Amino acid sequence: METQVLIIGGGATGTSIMRDLALRGVDCILVEQDDLNAGASGRNHGLLHSGARYVSNDHDAAVECRIEGDILKRLAGQTIQATGGYFVAVQGDDENFIADFPGHCDRAGISWKKIDLNEAFANEPAISRKAIAVYEVPDASIDPFRLSLESVAHAKALGCRLLRRSQVVAFKREGNRITSTTVRDRVTGEEREIVADQIINAAGAWAKIVAGLANIHIDMLYSKGTLLITHNRLAHRAINRLRKPSNADILMPGGTVSIIGTTSVKIDNLDDVYPSIAEVDQIVEESSAMVPDLATVRYIRAYAGVRPLVGASGGDGRSVSRGFALLGHEESGLQNFATITGGKLTTCRLMAEKAADLVCERLGVTTPCVTTSVPLPSAYEGRWTEPGHAPKAWMRSANEDDPLICECEMVSGAVIRNLYNQLVKAGDNPTFTDIGLRSRVGKGACQGAFCAVRAAAHLYQHGAFQGRKGLDQIVDFFDERWGGQHGVLWGEQLAQAELMEALHCGLFGEELK
Amino acid sequence: MNSQDQLWDVAVVGAGIAGMSAAIFAASKGLSVLHIGNGSGLVFGSGLLDVLAVHPVKDSTVHEDPWHGIELLRKDEPSNPLALVGPKAMEVAVNQIMEALGKAGMPYEPSTTNHFVPTSMGTLKGTFGVPTTMTSGAKAFENKWPTLLIEIRGLREFSAAQMVHTMGDKWPGLRFEKIEFPDSKGVFELYATHLATALETNKTRQAVIDIVRPLIGDAKAVGFPAILGLSESTAVHKAFEDALGVPVFEIPTMPTSVPGLRLKHSFEVAAAAAGVFRRVQSVVTGVKFDNDIATLTLQDATGNQEVQAKAVILATGRFMGRGLFADREKVREPLLDLFVEQPESRENWHSRDFFAKSGHAINRCGLLVDSKWRPTDAFGAVVWPRLYAVGSILARQDWMRQKSGSGLAIGTAWAAVSAMSDDFGSIGGV
């Protein structure tokens, strides 16, 4: 395969680069070792920062968030809900920090409003009655899956290509260029060569490993952050703790649920990233100072992402902000390899612009970036991650071949079938996990125990599944989902997990297969 | 009759298979039995009665002979409740319950070994007690009969195509046909209970028979999802066999299923026949003991009442049944705060792999009992001389992985009632 630019990594950054280049008329291929947003891009709060969180310790990042947030709200509005956000200080929090907050916001150009405590309690009853100050800022929620899915759909419509489950295993170097990249299909094991004029390493936390294949060292630390999902939504807005950024101080709404996090734990490798029991307990205990119900609510899931922290010695002066790092690797003698990593979901467009500028300059392409003015089109495959969309579509379709499959999230058979067939058409051999990433299937209280059975039956009924795929997929899907369940299994959710095991092991004996 | 006006010999708390069995066994011994619990957990049953099919769990060794399995368990896990019941008592107990259910409208095939029943998932379920409506499925598989499976458009949990695809390599003569259930055109979602009820009417049953008959071809058996009648399953099943001229069988499906409802209904009929007095709408919220008498506080829509009994059998199940409750720190027994043997910390409750070969440690936590099935504290002292515990609340078993849920429930109920009635004899009760 040949292309102008090979992008490695299908997170928010990589998919934004893909779209940016496609809009400039540059041909590109994106290779992703797993699936879209499989790393930190899919394992975060889904918070579109107003910037207020950074005003006290990182003015540049705050301004960047404000500007980028406004661009995304304007051009990718379908992925965003303007929930607004509260910054809440409680008794015992640093009063100087609280007092300085409005001034810092002013300097970063971020609008704020002091909210009377009684009004705050009326608007957000979950806030602790020990709150002593509440400010409103224009935080919003963003669906990172929809953002990436629609960025890819847009780029594909412009002729660019995505290869999922394709892992870069080697670079061939001749002189000052990487002449070919070896990519292994992680399902079939087949390898192929991709010849590209330029290569962008946007592999997030894996960027260090990818660069290592080109004998380039990136000084990078890994920081694991764990988040918990509640069974019910606790607040309308983003609720931030008004203190120096610390553990468990952001509660985000996400459709019918809320997400609380995070932690920050240094880890040494990326092979075994999971939310530990200690982190779960830490979040439950610390977050309840801001939202007391978090001590007693039912949690349905925990997940962990890895923040790549690029050390000072890894930079080569091209960093445009402390938020992210763009490395041209000229010091290595290579002229067609660059790395972009770090940063935030909120600034993914800017990161893509800077990375694309660099490779375009190297390619001699002078077409400017247009992602500050071209809207992100809504795509069929992108809209099913939005809570509430599937039931509306199902009610409208009223088709007897379209039964409800996932009752928690109300996803119907046609959605599952269409997403499946779309992936098949793209040459993939799709899994339940793939469908889960592109829809709400398996995200409710049952965590797939019931809907996976119905989804398998449905796909067989319509001839989509062949052989033992249904049983194999159910087993794989539960293995994948379990990683996020076992940390929050107490109370009601433990009973739910017992039901799942009673059904799938007790009755069906799937563990014996 | 008001349950609070008399002193009961025994109060049974919990109405899953264990509580139902304990109540029936105790009443059959002539004891007066007050049974509290609504039995809603029973609808999660598949209708199949497992005794023991897998041991050791970590090796996934499946046994055809459950009694031999229990003998092995006695050597390897001597304090497993199934081992404590032992094969002989287990056989007597399970057969009595199968007989009682048969008289109550849910007949089981007489059995001496495990049978391997094809499930809707395309797996084979090793189980001991098989309702007569399901037995031909195991026979059809065993003999590899050419077999037709019927898929019904709109029944979401069941795909005959899935079974054919999943089992086809081991069962070459298996095929399926998809049919439209009578009068279901335009209906998105069909519910098994509605279909089962509809099949109890001659007209609908005949319509289905007329649809299926021309599809049989060379098939020597026909399988349906478990929808052949709700309370009249024996008659509906027979009508299908007579009309189609080949053995007909039901395939166990995902709960809550029609056989689960039948099981609940049949247990209720059997308990009534045995003379059990049931308080269906009540929840036990407290138990106090004095020297000879237990006072149970019952809560229902009208408020609280107190009832008294000489003995109490706790059959409240595990987490699903609310017999156990876990917070982030530990597992508790919420009704009496009994000692729960359990892993050191939550870190050790679950394996990181859902299908982990050896199962999850949390599933082996539970109550410890003495040789008479009486819960003990951490040091082996009984809590109250006539408090007994049976079923899945007991520690040191893993019914889900051992495929032993019904055996555990029925066997321990039998053993505890035996110990209890011996005790009643010695204190001159009844």
Task: Map A481-511 to HEC letters.
Answer: HHHHHHHHCCHHHHHHHHHHHHHHHHHCCHH
Residue A405 lies in a domain: yes
Question: Which chain A residues have a beta carbon less than 8 Å from that of B263?
Answer: none
A466 contact B CB<8A: yes
CATH of the domain at A91: 3.30.9.10
Distance from CA of B225 to the nearest CA of A (A): 13
Quick check: helix, strand or coil at residue B80?
coil
Q: Which chain B residue lies closest to A472 (C-alpha atoms)?
A: B166
A392 and A508 belong to one structural domain: yes
Question: Which chain A residues have a beta carbon less than 8 Å from that of B121?
Answer: 453, 470-471, 474, 508, 510
A490 contact B CB<8A: yes
A113 and A235 belong to one structural domain: yes
CATH of the domain at A334: 3.50.50.60
What DSSP character marks residue A439?
Answer: S
Are A486 and B124 within 8 A, CB to CB?
no
Are B154 and A405 within 8 A, CB to CB?
no
ipTM above threshold 0.90: yes
CA gap B33, B307 in Å, rounded: 12
Q: Which of A281, A467, A482 has its CB closest to that of B328? A: A281
Res B160: pLDDT: 97
Q: Which of A405, A461, A471 has its CB closest to that of B122? A: A471
H/E element, A195: strand A191-201
Which residues in chain A (263-322) have CB-CB distances under 8 A to chain B?
Answer: 274, 277, 281, 284
Residue A213 lies in a domain: yes
Residues whose CB falls within 8 Å of the CB of residue B187, separated by 6 or more in sequence, listed in order? A400, B154
Q: Which chain B residue lies closest to A494 (C-alpha atoms)?
A: B319
A237 and A138 belong to one structural domain: yes
Which residues in chain A (388-447) have CB-CB distances under 8 A to chain B?
Answer: 399-400, 402-405
A51 and A196 belong to one structural domain: no
DSSP 3-state percent helix, strand, coil across chain A (nearest 5) = 40, 25, 35
Residue A280 lies in a domain: yes
Residues whose CB falls within 8 Å of the CB of residue B357, separated by 6 or more in sequence, listed in order? A511, B57, B58, B59, B60
Residue A484 lies in a domain: yes
CA gap A36, A144 in Å, rounded: 10
Which residues in chain A (161-200) have CB-CB distances under 8 A to chain B?
Answer: none
CATH 3.10.129.10 fits B135-251, yes or no: no
Residues whose CB falls within 8 Å of the CB of residue A30, separated by 6 or more in sequence, listed in order? A7, A8, A9, A10, A14, A15, A17, A18, A152, A155, A160, A161, A162, A163
Q: Which of A347, A363, A379 is the last residue of a domain?
A: A363
Q: Which of A284, A461, A479 has its CB closest to that of B353? A: A479
What count of CB pairs under 8 Å joins A to B? 156
User: Are B189 and B156 in contact, with CB atoms under 8 Å apart?
Assistant: yes
A200 and A212 belong to one structural domain: yes
A118 and A251 belong to one structural domain: yes
Cβ neighbour number for residue A74 with a 10 Å cutoff: 12
Question: Which chain B residues have a beta carbon less than 8 Å from that of A277?
Answer: 345-347
Q: One-letter amino acid identity for B241?
A: E
Location of structure tokens 């224009």? A138
Q: Which chain A residue lies closest to B348 (C-alpha atoms)?
A: A277
| Mutation site for A-interface testing, chosen from B50, B61, B116, B121 by largest number of A Cβ within 10 Å | B121
A405 and A491 belong to one structural domain: yes
- State the average pLDDT for chain A: 93
Q: Show pLDDT as tens, one digit a residue, over chain B (430 residues).
A: 677 789 999 999 999 999 999 999 999 999 999 999 987 889 999 999 999 999 999 999 999 999 999 999 999 999 999 999 999 999 999 999 999 999 999 999 999 999 999 999 999 999 999 999 999 999 999 999 999 999 999 999 999 999 999 999 999 999 999 999 999 988 888 999 999 999 999 999 999 999 999 999 999 999 999 999 999 999 999 999 999 999 999 999 998 899 999 999 999 999 999 999 999 889 999 999 998 999 999 999 889 999 999 999 999 999 999 999 999 999 999 999 999 999 999 999 999 999 999 999 999 999 999 999 999 999 999 999 999 999 999 999 999 999 999 999 999 999 999 999 998 886 554 4
| Mutation site for A-interface testing, chosen from B46, B319, B329, B352 by largest number of A Cβ within 10 Å | B319
Superfamily for B3-103+262-427? FAD/NAD(P)-binding domain (3.50.50.60)
| Mutation site for B-interface testing, chosen from A494, A500, A503 by largest number of B Cβ within 10 Å | A494
Same CATH topology for B3-103+262-427 and B135-251: the answer is: no
CA gap A391, A213 in Å, rounded: 46
Are A501 and B360 within 8 A, CB to CB?
yes
Q: Which chain A residue lies closest to B61 (C-alpha atoms)?
A: A512
Question: Which chain B residues have a beta carbon less than 8 Å from that of A404?
Answer: 156, 188-189
Res B329: pLDDT: 96
Segments of B24-85 assigned E as strands = 33-36
Residue A370 lies in a domain: no
CA gap B390, B85 in Å, rounded: 11
The total number of residues shown for chain A amounts to 513
A508 contact B CB<8A: yes
Distance from CA of B364 to the nearest CA of A (A): 12
Question: Which chain B residues have a beta carbon less than 8 Å from that of A491?
Answer: 325-327
Residue A320 token pair = 């445009």
A199 and A334 belong to one structural domain: yes
| Mutation site for A-interface testing, chosen from B48, B58, B130, B156 by largest number of A Cβ within 10 Å | B156
Question: Which chain B residues have a beta carbon less than 8 Å from that of A402?
Answer: 188
User: Are A306 and A275 in contact, with CB atoms under 8 Å apart?
Assistant: no
Distance from CA of A226 to the nearest CA of B (A): 16
User: Are B394 and B321 in contact, with CB atoms under 8 Å apart?
Assistant: no
CA gap A251, A258 in Å, rounded: 7
Query: Which residues in chain A show pLDDT less than 70?
Result: 312-322
Which residues in chain A (443-462) have CB-CB distances under 8 A to chain B?
Answer: 450, 453-454, 456-458, 460-461
Residue A379 lies in a domain: no
Segments of A280-361 assigned E as strands = 299-310, 324-327, 337-342
Question: Which chain B residues have a beta carbon less than 8 Å from that of A468?
Answer: 122, 165-166
Distance from CA of A342 to the nearest CA of B (A): 29
Q: Which of A330, A363, A396 is the last residue of a domain?
A: A363
Res B176: pLDDT: 98
A175 and A254 belong to one structural domain: no
What DSSP character marks residue A341?
Answer: E
Question: How do the domains of chain B map onto residue ranges?
Answer: 3-103+262-427, 135-251
Question: Which chain B residues have a beta carbon less than 8 Å from that of A284?
Answer: 328
Q: Which of A467, A497, A510 has its CB closest to that of B121? A: A510
Q: How many CA atoms lie within 13 A of A146 on its CB side?
A: 26
Res B1: pLDDT: 60
User: Are A74 and A349 in contact, with CB atoms under 8 Å apart?
Assistant: no
Res B169: pLDDT: 95
Residues whose CB falls within 8 Å of the CB of residue B344, separated by 6 or more in sequence, listed in order? none
A327 and A473 belong to one structural domain: no
Distance from CA of A479 to the nearest CA of B (A): 6
Res A322: pLDDT: 52
Query: Which structural domain, as residue segments, surrounds residue A279?
Result: 47-142+221-308
A489 contact B CB<8A: yes
A355 and A442 belong to one structural domain: no
Q: Which of A486, A507, A508 has its CB closest to that of B350? A: A486
Segments of B185-293 assigned E as strands = 221-225, 248-251, 277-279, 283-289
Are B318 and A498 within 8 A, CB to CB?
yes
A364 contact B CB<8A: no
Quick check: helix, strand or coil at residue A310?
strand
Q: Which of A399, A460, A489 has its CB closest to that of B162? A: A460
Distance from CA of B113 to the nearest CA of A (A): 18
Which residues in chain B (81-110) have CB-CB distances under 8 A to chain A?
Answer: none
Res A314: pLDDT: 42
Number of domains in chain A: 3
CA gap A213, A72 in Å, rounded: 34
Distance from CA of B104 to the nearest CA of A (A): 24
C-alpha A18: how far from chain center: 16
CA gap A326, A196 in Å, rounded: 19
Residue A382 lies in a domain: no
Residue A372 lies in a domain: no
Which residues in chain B (314-333) have CB-CB distances under 8 A to chain A?
Answer: 318-320, 322, 325-328
A356 and A481 belong to one structural domain: no
| Mutation site for B-interface testing, chosen from A462, A478, A505, A510 by largest number of B Cβ within 10 Å | A505
Q: Which of A453, A454, A494 has its CB closest to that of B319? A: A494
